[in-house]
Amino acid sequence: MSTTRTVALFMLVTAVAACAKKEASRADTTRLDTTSAAPSMGPGAAADTTAAASSAPLTDANIVFILHGANAADSARGKLAESKGTSADVKQFGKMMVGEHHALNMQGDQLAKKLNVTPVAPANDQSEAQAKTEMDSLTAVAKGAAWDKAYIAYEVGYHQAVMDIATKALAAAQNAELKALITKAAPVIQKHLDRAKEIQGKMGS
């Protein structure tokens, strides 16, 4: 992957994290949205959009949407890494992303159904378009050592952003069970971040 594309991916994660911080900092007025009868979680909800560029506070319905998108997109990238990765470390990391983010997603979906919450995208959310851009960029690059490095570098920045989002979401969440889910997910995300950094260290600059 070219340096330009790699930088663009990092800029995307950083921009999303900044937006989410702004939203979560105003989250003391959030309320649980239980007005809809069933959850609606499309597979396109993408995760680099852990939040939208909006000044409105995050609701629990927004948080469920964000968490679902984050897990779905990272699982999709992990599947791509399983097929395009060259090194055993990258392939194994991709496999871990698929399995563990899928498990987190299942837990989130089950909780949403239990609480009768329909996930709602934050205002001006562009998660689906952003996730497609990321996947298109990764798919377009030929497999090899350069792809492995770009993917792992992206995953380091991505998981750092998701950890920050999780912290903000925990502060914003109003429902106790949603807070518990975020608390349970945080160590998994940290493990992924630590592993990505470890692989990156082996690869060198």
pLDDT confidence tier of residue 31, bands split at 50, 70 and 90: very low
pTM of the model: 0.71
Q: Give the separation between CA 88 and CA 4, rounded to whole angstroms.
A: 26
Q: Give me the chain's average pLDDT, please.
A: 77
* Alpha carbon distances (Å) from 59 to 105, 153, 189: 18, 31, 22
Q: Does the pLDDT at position 21 exceed 70?
A: no
pLDDT at 76: 93
Q: What share of the chain is helix, strand, coil (3-state, %, to 5)?
A: 75, 0, 25
Q: How many domains does the chain have?
A: 1
pLDDT for residue 83: 93
pLDDT in tens, 126-183: 877 888 888 888 888 888 999 999 999 999 999 998 999 899 899 999 999 999 999 9
Which residues, in sequence order, are CB contacts of 33 under 8 Å at separation 6+?
A: 59, 60, 61, 117, 118, 120
Looking at mean pLDDT, say which of 7-16, 27-36, 54-63 comes out highest. 54-63
Give residue 148's domain range: 3-203
In the prediction, which pLDDT does 134 show? 85
pLDDT mean over 15-33: 36
The neighbour count for residue 125, using CB atoms within 10 Å, is 22
Q: Which residues of 96-117 are buried (b: 16+ CB within 10 A; e: fewer)?
A: bbbebbbebbeebbebbeebeb
Structure confidence at residue 37 as a pLDDT band (50, 70, 90): very low
Q: What is the mean pLDDT of residues 97-114?
A: 94
DSSP three-state, residue 2 = coil
If you average pLDDT over residues 104-132, what whole number do you get?
88
At 56 the pLDDT is 66
> What was the pLDDT predicted at 175?
94
Q: Is the pLDDT of residue 189 over 50?
A: yes
pLDDT of residue 29: 33
What CATH number corresponds to the domain at position 95?
1.20.1260.10
Confidence check: pLDDT of 23 > 90: no
User: Which token pair is 183?
Assistant: 């608390």
